[in-house]
Amino acid sequence: MGLLSDPNRRKALTSLLTRLNTPICVVCYLAGIAWFMGLAFEPFTLRTYMSENAMGSTMVEERFPAGERALATAREFAAHKRKVGGMPVEWLVKTMQARGLEVFTQSFTRTLPFPDENKERYMVRGTNIYGILRAPRAPRTEALVLSAPCSPDNSNNQAVGLLLGLAQYFRSQIYWAKDIIFLVNEHDLIGMQAWLEGYHHTNITGMDYTPLQGRAGSIQAALSLELSSDVITSLDLVLEGLNGQLPNLDLANLFHAFCQKIGVLCTIQGKLQRGDWDTAEGYTHAVQTMMLMVLKQASGRPWGDHGLFLRYHIEAASVRGINSFRQYKTDATTIGRLLEGMFRKLNNLLERLHQSYFFYLMPSLTHFVSIGYYMPAFGLLATILLLRALDLWVQLGTPAQVTEDGAGEVEPVSINNQGVLSVLTPVVISHLTGVALYTLPVLSQETAVEHFPVSETEAVVLTAIAIYTAGLALPHNTHRFISGEGTEQGWRVLKLVALLYLAVLLGCTALINFSLGFILAITLVPAAACVTPHMPKALTALAMVLLSPGCTLLYCVFIFQELQEAPVTLPEGWMLFLSVISQGILDHSLYGSLVYPLLALLIYPCWLLLWNILFWK
Amino acid sequence: SYLFIYLFYYITTKATQFFNSGHTNNWAVLVCTSRFWFNYRHVANVLSVYRSVKRLGIPDSHIVLMLADDMACNHRNPKPATVFSHKNMELNVYGDDVEVDYRGYEVTVENFLRVLTGRLPPSTPRSKRLLSDDRSNILIYLTGHGGNGFLKFQDSEEISNVELADAFEQMWQKRRYNELLFIIDTCQGASMYERFYSPNIMALASSQVGEDSLSHQPDLAIGVHLMDRYTFYLLEFLEDIHPASQANMNDLFKVCPKSQCVSTPGHRTDLFLRDPRSVLITDFFGSVRKVEITREAVNLTSAAEQPVEATKEPKSEPLSYVDQLPVAEIIHQKPKQKDWHPPDGFILGLWTLILLVFFKTYGIKHLKHIF
Q: Give, for all 371 residues of chain B, the pLDDT tens digit.
A: 677 776 666 665 555 555 556 788 899 999 999 988 889 999 999 999 999 999 898 999 999 999 998 899 999 998 898 998 876 657 888 888 899 999 999 999 999 999 999 999 999 999 999 999 988 999 999 999 999 999 999 888 999 999 999 999 999 999 999 999 999 999 888 899 999 999 999 999 998 898 888 888 788 888 888 888 999 899 889 988 888 888 889 999 998 888 888 888 999 999 988 888 888 898 899 886 666 778 888 788 866 555 554 445 555 566 666 555 555 555 555 555 566 766 777 888 888 998 888 888 876 666 566 55
On whether any CB of chain A is under 8 Å from the CB of B160, the answer is no
Give first-to-last CA distance, chain B, whole Å. Answer: 127
Whether B75 and A60 lie within 8 Å, measured CB to CB = no
Distance CA A203, CA A210 (A): 12
Cβ(A171)–Cβ(A137) below 8 Å:
no
Residues A122-131, mean pLDDT to the nearest whole number: 94
State residue A410's pLDDT score: 43
Whether A135 and B75 lie within 8 Å, measured CB to CB = yes
For residues A172 and B316, the model is more confident at A172
- CB-nearest to A60 from B77, B220, B225 is B220
Residue type for position A2: G
Distance CA A269, CA A396 (A): 49
Three-state secondary structure call for residue A36:
helix
For residues A64 and A414, the model is more confident at A64
State residue A439's pLDDT score: 92
**Residue A558 reports pLDDT greater than 80:** yes
Q: What is the pTM of this model?
A: 0.83
Least confident of A64-78, A551-565, A588-602, B9-23: B9-23
* Helix or strand holding residue A396 (H, E): helix A371-397
Phi, psi (deg, nearest 5) at residue A548: -75, 160
State residue A408's pLDDT score: 41
Distance CA A374, CA A397 (A): 36
Residue type for position B222: I
The residues of B that are catalytic are 145, 187
Angle between helices A488-512 and A514-530 (to 10 degrees): 170
State residue A277's pLDDT score: 78
- Can you list the pairs that A77-83 forms with residues at least 24 positions away whose Cβ atoms lie under 8 Å? A77/A157, A77/A160, A77/A161, A77/A164, A78/A154, A78/A157, A81/A150, A81/A157
**Residue A312 reports pLDDT greater than 60:** yes
Distance CA B45, CA B226 (A): 8
Cβ partners under 8 Å of residue A192, min gap 6: A128, A147, A149, A185, A305, A308
Whether B223 and A138 lie within 8 Å, measured CB to CB = no
Q: For chain B, what is the HEC assignment? A: CHHHHHHHHHHHHHHHHHCCCCCCEEEEEEEECCCCHHHHHHHHHHHHHHHHHHHCCCCHHHEEEEECCCCCCCCCCCCCCCCECCCCCCCECCCCCCCCCEEHHHCCHHHHHHHHHCCCCCCCCHHHCCCCCCCEEEEEEEECEEECCEEEECCCEEEEHHHHHHHHHHHHHCCCCCEEEEEEECCCHHHHHCCCCCCCEEEEECCCCCCCCCECCEECCCCEECCEHHHHHHHHHHHCCCCCCCCEHHHHHCCCCHHHHCCCCEEECCCCCCCHHHCECHHHHCCCCCCCCCCCCCCCCCCCCCCCCCCCCCCCCCCCCHHHCCHHHHHCCCCCCCCCCCCHHHHHHHHHHHHHHHHHHHCCHHHHHHC
Chain A residue with minimum CA distance to B41 = A58
Phi, psi (deg, nearest 5) at residue B334: -70, 150
Q: pLDDT tens for residues A202-211?
A: 998 888 999 9
Residues A513-526, mean pLDDT to the nearest whole number: 94
Cβ(A602)–Cβ(A433) below 8 Å:
no
Distance CA A97, CA A26 (A): 66
Three-state secondary structure call for residue A443:
helix
Chain B residue with minimum CA distance to A139 = B75
- CB-nearest to A54 from B38, B220, B221 is B38
pLDDT band at A273 (very low <50, low <70, confident <90, very high): confident
State residue A135's pLDDT score: 92
State residue A450's pLDDT score: 84
Distance CA B93, CA B85 (A): 7
**Residue A373 reports pLDDT greater than 80:** yes
Beta-carbon neighbour count of residue A108 at 10 Å? Answer: 23
**Residue A296 reports pLDDT greater than 90:** yes
**Residue A152 reports pLDDT greater than 90:** no
**Residue A608 reports pLDDT greater than 70:** yes
Burial of B200 (0-12, 13-18, 19+ CB in 10 A): middle
pLDDT band at A483 (very low <50, low <70, confident <90, very high): low
A472 DSSP 8-state letter: G
| Average pLDDT for chain A | 89
Cβ(A392)–Cβ(A496) below 8 Å:
yes
Distance CA B58, CA B50 (A): 9
State residue A252's pLDDT score: 94
On whether any CB of chain B is under 8 Å from the CB of A56, the answer is yes
Distance CA B286, CA B55 (A): 8
Distance CA B190, CA B186 (A): 9
Percent of chain A at pLDDT > 70 equals 94
State residue A103's pLDDT score: 96
On whether any CB of chain A is under 8 Å from the CB of B223, the answer is yes
State residue A7's pLDDT score: 83
Cβ(A114)–Cβ(A457) below 8 Å:
yes
Whether B38 and A58 lie within 8 Å, measured CB to CB = yes
pLDDT band at A413 (very low <50, low <70, confident <90, very high): very low
Contacts of A174 in chain B (CB under 8 A): 78, 80
Distance CA A429, CA A432 (A): 5
Q: pLDDT tens for residues A325-339?
A: 888 899 999 999 999
